[in-house]
Amino acid sequence: MITTLGHNTLHNKRQGSEEVPPKVPCHSGIPTFSSTPTEIKDILPHEFFLHYVKLYPCRLPANLSQGGQHHQPRPVRVVLDALAALLNFPCRAASWRLSKMGDASEEIQENPPIIYVTGFGPFESHPVNASQIAVEKLVKQNLESDLGVKLVTEIIKVEYEYVKKTVPQRWKELKPKLVVHVGVSGMAETLVLEQLAHNHEYTRSDNCGCLPNQGSCCPDGDPVLKSGIRMDLISSKLNKMIHLKLSCAKSTDPGRFLCDFIYYLSLNEDRTRSAFIHVPPLSKFSAQDISASIAAAIKEMYAQVLEMENEEQKEV
């Protein structure tokens, strides 16, 4: 499940049968267990099991619906997904972390780490913003299943006041493990990873014709904030991935517009888990190719964040 934020309202993007993993045969939205019998009674809370049997007795294996018992442990993934469906709590199999099979030693990751990714809406010479289209296509890049995270995406208005209000709010609400902002640059010929952001000298008006107060992001803040994520290392790794259509480069000039502005706000929240990516317009590369490169960069960024966390834990 990819969660998309818009106008302060959460809604789910559902792609076909994604909310019920393929290991669970499904008929009319009701999970069945005909091909994968499981010790449901031993895993689900008693009241849930009784409720499920009452509603869908024909969907359970005969030996379970009749009160039979198994004598050896079985995989539990299918049961967890059944419980999710029963409680109307959509999830993907990737949201569960299952430990190696043992005596009921399965571990459930109920709240996976969040990666929050934003794109920008239309503005001036970009009536169709490549960052918006590419971010929306991240649902097809398997980030959740590959990284064991929850991906939250949002398309941001090209307005200083809106950005200044929204970004700190999202950090507080989501408590993300990684934040990646994406914007378009008409000059970009590659995927551009921005290392830093500027606080002052914002002189370009937004979609409302407005400028930030005093031309600054945070009037009392540092002139420049740098990300703790090494963009040069990520750029080097991505340029060795021959399946990617875009090359990659590091930059230290996000442009003194909303891209620079939003990046500074996130760096001001946490420099160790904030990043910005500039992408070329759709006239140069397809949205799918841009999205694939963004996903590859996000994976490398996330790996660095985890590595930094591990190093901090060792020092403590």
Q: Report the CATH number that the domain containing residue 195 is assigned in CATH.
A: 3.40.630.20
Q: Which one, of 76, 73, 78, lies nearest residue 98 by Cα?
A: 76
Beta strand extents in the chain (DSSP E only): 2-6, 9-13, 26-27, 30-31, 114-120, 150-156, 178-184, 191-194, 196-198, 224-226, 248-251, 274-279
Residues 64 and 122 in one domain: no
Residues 121 and 56 in one domain: no
Instruction: pLDDT band for 37, please (50, 70, 90 cuts).
Output: very low
Residues 273 and 203 in one domain: yes
In a domain, 85, yes or no: yes
In a domain, 7, yes or no: no
In a domain, 249, yes or no: yes
Residues 169 and 78 in one domain: no
pLDDT surpassing 80 at residue 47: no
Residues 131 and 279 in one domain: yes
Please, what is the average pLDDT of the chain? 79
Distant-in-sequence, close-in-space partners of 277: CB < 8 Å, separation ≥ 6: 180, 181, 182, 183, 191, 192, 193, 194, 294, 297
What pLDDT sits at residue 312? Answer: 87
pLDDT surpassing 60 at residue 295: yes
In a domain, 8, yes or no: no
User: At which of 66, 95, 124 does a domain end?
Assistant: 95
In a domain, 4, yes or no: no
Residue type present at position 102 = G
Tell me what percent of the residues of the chain surpass a pLDDT of 90: 62
Residue 211 or 20, more confident: 211
Residues 175 and 278 in one domain: yes
Alpha-carbon distance values, 180 to 17, 113, 135, 235 (Å): 28, 14, 10, 15
pLDDT surpassing 80 at residue 257: yes
The predicted model gives 103-115 an average pLDDT of: 65
**pLDDT per residue over 187-202, tens digit each?**
999 999 999 999 999 9
Alpha-carbon distance of 303 to 179, in angstroms, equals 13
Residue 83 or 137, more confident: 137
What pLDDT sits at residue 172? Answer: 98
What pLDDT sits at residue 241? Answer: 98
Alpha-carbon distance of 72 to 65, in angstroms, equals 18
Instruction: pLDDT band for 52, please (50, 70, 90 cuts).
Output: very low
Residue 61 or 302, more confident: 302
User: At which of 95, 129, 157 does a domain end?
Assistant: 95
- Residues 273-300 as b/e (b if ≥16 CB within 10 A, e otherwise) read bbbbbbbbbbeebebebbbbbbbbbbbb
Alpha-carbon distance of 305 to 228, in angstroms, equals 9
What pLDDT sits at residue 26? Answer: 42
**pLDDT per residue over 63-84, tens digit each?**
444 444 444 444 444 555 555 5
Residues 170 and 31 in one domain: no
The predicted model gives 214-224 an average pLDDT of: 95
In a domain, 109, yes or no: no
What pLDDT sits at residue 4? Answer: 76
Per the structure, the count of domains in the chain is 2
Range of the domain at 81: 18-95
What pLDDT sits at residue 224? Answer: 98
Query: Strand pairing partners for 156?
Result: 120
62, 66, 69, 70 alpha-carbon torsion, rounded to 10°: 0
pLDDT surpassing 70 at residue 276: yes
Residues 178 and 213 in one domain: yes
Q: Which residues are catalytic?
A: 194, 259, 278
User: At which of 95, 129, 160 does a domain end?
Assistant: 95
What pLDDT sits at residue 65? Answer: 40
In a domain, 48, yes or no: yes
Residues 71 and 161 in one domain: no
pLDDT surpassing 90 at residue 147: yes
What pLDDT sits at residue 23? Answer: 42
**pLDDT per residue over 6-36, tens digit each?**
644 343 443 443 444 444 344 444 344 443 4
Residues 285 and 213 in one domain: yes
Residues 45 and 193 in one domain: no
The predicted model gives 298-305 an average pLDDT of: 98
In a domain, 227, yes or no: yes
Q: Which one, of 30, 40, 26, 31, lies nearest residue 74 by Cα?
A: 40
Residues 311 and 208 in one domain: yes
Beta strand extents in 94-247 (DSSP E only): 114-120, 150-156, 178-184, 191-194, 196-198, 224-226
